[in-house]
Amino acid sequence: MESFLENNGMYRGIYCYFAGNEGNGLWCKGLDGILPLGWEWLGYFIAGFTIMLILVNGALLGAAIFVWGERRILARIHKRRGPNRWGPFGLLQPIADLLKLLIKEDLVPTVADRLVFTLVPVVMLMSLLLSLAVIPFAYNTYLADLNVAILYFVAVGSLSTIAIFMAGWSSGNKYAMFGAMRSVAMLISYEVPLVMSLVGVVLIAGSMSMVDVVEAQHVPFILVQPLGALIFLLGISAELNRTPFDIMEAESEIIAGYHTEYSGIKFALIQAAEMAGVLAASAVIATLFLGGWSGPVFSSQLGAVWFLLKLTFVAFVFVWIRGTFPRLRIDQIMAFAWKFLLPLAFINLMSTAIEVYFFGFYNAPANELGVITGDELWVMAAINSGIAVVAITLFGRATRDKMRPNPVKLHKLEPAGTVLGVN
């Protein structure tokens, strides 16, 4: 059987249950399916459709659970109660919010470009679902194991920024346009260090396949690449419009930013895509830096459990950051990307390249070129941890004046109510 899904355990199980026969007995391990001979095409369709159904509904259900969990955790951080009316512990609050949005009128501004305005939720959800296709959720459990999976994730993830620009441009609203332009500026700024942070992972693993990256983590890459993990976390937070980088929909400045004019089910889909995007980013961080489905015991059997635990931890970190830090100004966000993250990403890339050369190629046997052992990964972890501490300290001190208001300049500001040029 020739298919990019042939190593997917879930796909194989569903397909063989329906279409197993003598012709594919080796692949299905002798399992006889319930469909007659010649109906294998229906088995293909049912297996593929079932996996896509699970993926789509799992993403939307995960978004609802994340919304509830985020609101409860933020309430704890802020010493509030949080959602607690609908269902036990407020568990039905996301369902109540969805029902409320479903019955609201779907308004479209008169001056809006109706076609582009309507396509925005579709493009945002498409970006999310396409990015989930290459994430291995457990051993042999994924939609596609691409040999360029990391590059693919970065590429399709950028579609959400195009959707945000579409929303701002098509709304015919100045506040929405401001939010959209901020989104484009942040994408250009943070995409560079984000991609550079992933190059170190690719160099060590020797592959852009996420499955290969997980299998290469004899030592979790968060220890081997501490700078890369930090840069990726901060960069993806900016692209996801998470606090403290949420200037594209800053309610204190531009109402709701790019989705100011959206209501009803369109608004619900945009919010679902945003929340599920956090889970997708958490899944990628768990895969690339925390070992994916691998755990201390029974990785093959309990891989989904270990993966879910790691994903939940990373999602909690996103919520923790949101509840702790205030929103930054646009100049602070740009300075943080170009004057702090970018130099750190360059240092991380150069140090990793040198280490991979010495450990993987310099004096290595011909049959082990590019192979880095577990002991060598621990040595790299020690070296890169020291580099991370020194680099963060130096560049933090060099850029901290750019990240906070200057008290001298604030003191020189004109008092409130003073008219310039009039004593």
Collapsing DSSP to helix, strand or coil, 104 comes out as coil
> What pLDDT does residue 423 have?
40
Give dist(CA 325, CA 328) in Å, integer.
9
Contact 194, 235 (CB under 8 A): yes
Using only C-alpha atoms, the chain has a radius of gyration, in whole angstroms, of: 24
Q: Which of 4, 307, 360, 328 is nearest to 149 (CA)?
A: 4
Q: Supply 52's token pair.
A: 């896509």
Spans of all domains in the chain? 1-103, 110-406
Count of C-beta atoms within a 10 Å radius of residue 42 = 14
Contact 194, 154 (CB under 8 A): yes
DSSP 330-371: HHHHHHHIIIIIHHHHHHHHHHHHHHHHHHHTTT--GGGTT-
> What pLDDT does residue 347 have?
94
Dihedral sign computed on CA atoms, order 288, 290, 293, 298? positive
- pLDDT tens track, the chain, 423 positions: 445 566 677 777 787 777 777 666 566 766 777 777 777 778 778 887 888 888 888 888 888 899 898 888 988 888 888 788 888 888 888 888 888 888 888 888 887 888 888 888 888 888 888 888 889 888 878 888 888 999 999 888 888 888 888 888 888 888 888 888 887 888 888 889 999 999 999 999 988 999 999 999 989 999 999 999 999 999 998 888 887 887 777 666 666 677 788 888 888 888 888 888 899 999 999 999 998 888 888 877 888 899 999 999 999 999 999 888 888 888 888 888 888 999 999 999 999 999 988 887 776 666 666 678 888 889 999 999 999 999 998 888 877 766 665 555 545 555 544 444 444
Q: Supply 137's token pair.
A: 């959720």
DSSP 6: T
Give dist(CA 361, CA 93) in Å, integer.
56
pTM of the predicted structure, to 2 decimals: 0.86
DSSP 274-286: HHHHHHHHHHHHH
Q: Supply 369's token pair.
A: 């070129």
Contact 293, 304 (CB under 8 A): yes
Give dist(CA 289, CA 313) in Å, integer.
13
Q: Supply 332's token pair.
A: 């602070």
Q: Supply 240's token pair.
A: 């996801």
Give first-to-last CA distance, the chain, whole Å.
Answer: 86
